[in-house]
Amino acid sequence: MNVRRSGLTLIEVLVVIGVIALLLAMLVPAVQKVRESASRTQCTNNLKQIGLALHNFHDSNKYLPPGTLVHDSIVNALHSGFTYILPYLEQGLTHALYDFGFAWYEPANFAAVAREVPIFFCPSNRRRGSIDLAREIEQWSSPMPPTVGATDYILCKGANAGIYYDPTLVPLQVRGLFGMSQPRTTKGGTAWERTPVFRIRLKDVAGGASSTFAVGEGAGGNRHFLLADTEDTSRAVIEPFTNNVVMMDQAWSVGCITDRYHPWYASIYGVTAQFGFSYGPRDEPMNRRPGTPSISSSDFSGYNVSGKDSISGFRSMHPNGCSFLYADGTVHWVWQGINPVTYRALSTYAGEETIPGNWAN
């Protein structure tokens, strides 16, 4: 009696496995594309909310917040632009914890600056993140909060990395919406007010609010973006205290600008060029790898004549570009291959340049 066995032959099994592998190969990129699309949409929404907060702050105060408020130490900013807009981002509790009478690094503000603010993270990169300052506390033997909440969004400083107390030294044609300002002091000069001496108003945007960067992406805490060695910018820097490469990152409450002896930090600022003038712009391309550290060299010109100041560029984990918030509150995607001249023009607010070509979608 012949018994017929049911089942698959080896060839049939291999065919089935091949079909499944092919389907997975087709499905995985599709799923990744859907996820990236959703993440990019959320990133766009985050930037729109930041834009709305900036406009609400402007409506209330008649000026935009400074990028950083500084006094006697440029590298130790008192407050950041993001700190000013916390109440307009539904972050009333964090804002209530923050005391503008003290700098971010003083004990009174430890609890506030340690908070991770969800809207400051791009979901294509991360959904939370902090910077451990134990290394910095040990290096400088200075009281600082143990951790600070990070951010994936950075303020546009323009097309010039000049770092100085007086932002008016940066020529208008390369100046961005967010720079430094010294504070007005209270009566007696014993505490810092939140009010900056130097202020930018939306009516000052001569280049057109719809074609002027306000905030861009600065993906942090990701090994995809390491900081470059200042001696050899083609390779990642090795931080001598840990003997490790350094991931670019920045905190929402901190300037993160360092000196040339500690070139291991990104900053709350982003630029499109280090000098910005047509005769020697030293362009800072989007998504540069390894990335440029943010360094103050004490260039007293105020606009980086020595070329020794530097500010990190814009970067994202979205493929081939970054999202930018514009001065009018809109958000556009900008391709990383954008013409450098156009890119520089978009980052300045008073250059009144003619911006060529299709630069965003």
Q: Which of 21-30, 129-138, 201-210, 303-312 has the highest mean pLDDT?
A: 303-312
For residue 235, is it within any domain?
yes
What is the pLDDT at residue 152? 98
**Encoded amino acid at 142, one letter:** S
Structural domains in the chain (count) = 1
Give the per-residue pLDDT at 116.
Answer: 97
Give domain status of residue 83, yes or no. Answer: yes
d(CA 2, CA 51): 79
Range of the domain at 182: 13-346
270-286 tens-digit pLDDT: 999 999 999 999 999 99
CB of 208 closer than 8 Å to CB of 101? no
Across all residues in the chain, what is the average pLDDT? 88
4 within domain boundaries: no
Looking at per-residue pLDDT, the higher value among 21 and 88 belongs to 88
Is pLDDT above 70 for 121?
Answer: yes
C-alpha Rg value of the chain to the nearest Å? 23
pLDDT at 92 over 80: yes
Considering the domain boundaries, does residue 5 fall inside one? Answer: no
How far, in Å, CA of 46 to CA of 12, rounded? 51
Q: What is the distance between the alpha carbons of residues 312 and 250, in angstroms, rounded to a whole number?
A: 10
The predicted-structure confidence for 291-305, as pLDDT tens digits, reads as follows 999 999 888 899 999
Helix intervals (H) in the chain: 10-61, 81-84, 92-97, 110-113, 134-140, 340-346
DSSP-based three-state secondary structure for 235: coil
Q: Which of 66, 75, 85 is nearest to 105 (CA)?
A: 75
Q: What is the model's pLDDT at position 331?
A: 97
Residue 263 — pLDDT band, cuts 50, 70, 90? confident
239 or 10, which is more confident: 239
| Cis-peptide, bond into residue 340, ω within 30° of zero | no
Name the least confident of 42-46, 193-197, 243-247: 193-197
| Statement: residue 17 has pLDDT above 90 | no
* Cα torsion 353, 294, 171, 304: sign: negative
Can you give the pTM of this predicted structure? 0.89
Q: How many other C-beta atoms can be found within 10 angstroms of the C-beta atom of residue 192?
A: 20
- Tell me the pairing of strands 153-158 and 269-271: parallel
Q: Which residues contact 28 (CB under 8 A, 6 or more apart)?
A: none
Q: Band the pLDDT of 32: cuts 50, 70, 90.
A: low
Strand residue runs (E) in 204-293: 213-217, 238-239, 244-245, 258-259, 269-271
Q: Is 291 helix (H, G, I), strand (E, B) or coil?
A: strand
- CA–CA dist 45, 28 (Å, integer): 26
> Where residue 5 falls among pLDDT bands split at 50, 70, 90?
low
Cα–Cα separations (whole angstroms), residue 284 to 256, 274, 315:
18, 7, 11
- The single residue listed with the structure tokens 């969800």 is 118
Measure the CA dihedral 96/101/103/107, to 10°.
-70
Cα diameter, the chain: 110
SS3 content of the chain, % helix, strand, coil (to 5): 30, 20, 55
**How far, CA to CA in Å, does 230 sit from each of 235, 256, 259?**
9, 17, 12
Lowest mean pLDDT among 19-23, 172-176, 262-266: 19-23
- State the average pLDDT over residues 66-87: 88
Residue 8 lies in a domain: no
356 part of a folded domain = no
CA distance 327 to 282: 25
Determine if residue 62 is left, alpha or beta; phi over 0 gives left, psi from -120 to 50 gives alpha, anything else beta: left
Residue 230: inside a domain = yes
- Lowest mean per-residue pLDDT among 62-76, 79-93, 346-360: 346-360
Could you identify the residue written with the tokens 């900053």?
A: 267
CB–CB of 255/77 below 8 Å?
A: yes
Average pLDDT over residues 170-188: 85
153, 215 Cβ separation under 8 angstroms: yes
Q: What angle do CA 273, 178, 308 make, to 5 degrees?
A: 40
Q: Model confidence at 109, in pLDDT bands (50, 70, 90)?
A: very high
Q: What is the pLDDT of residue 217?
A: 98
* Residues whose CB falls within 8 Å of the CB of residue 260, separated by 6 or more in sequence, listed in order: 230, 295, 296, 297, 308
Cα 342 from Cα 152, distance rounded (Å): 24
Cβ neighbours for 306, distance < 8 A, ≥ 6 positions apart: 297, 299
What is the pLDDT, as a whole number, of residue 161? 96
Residue 361, domain member (yes or no):
no
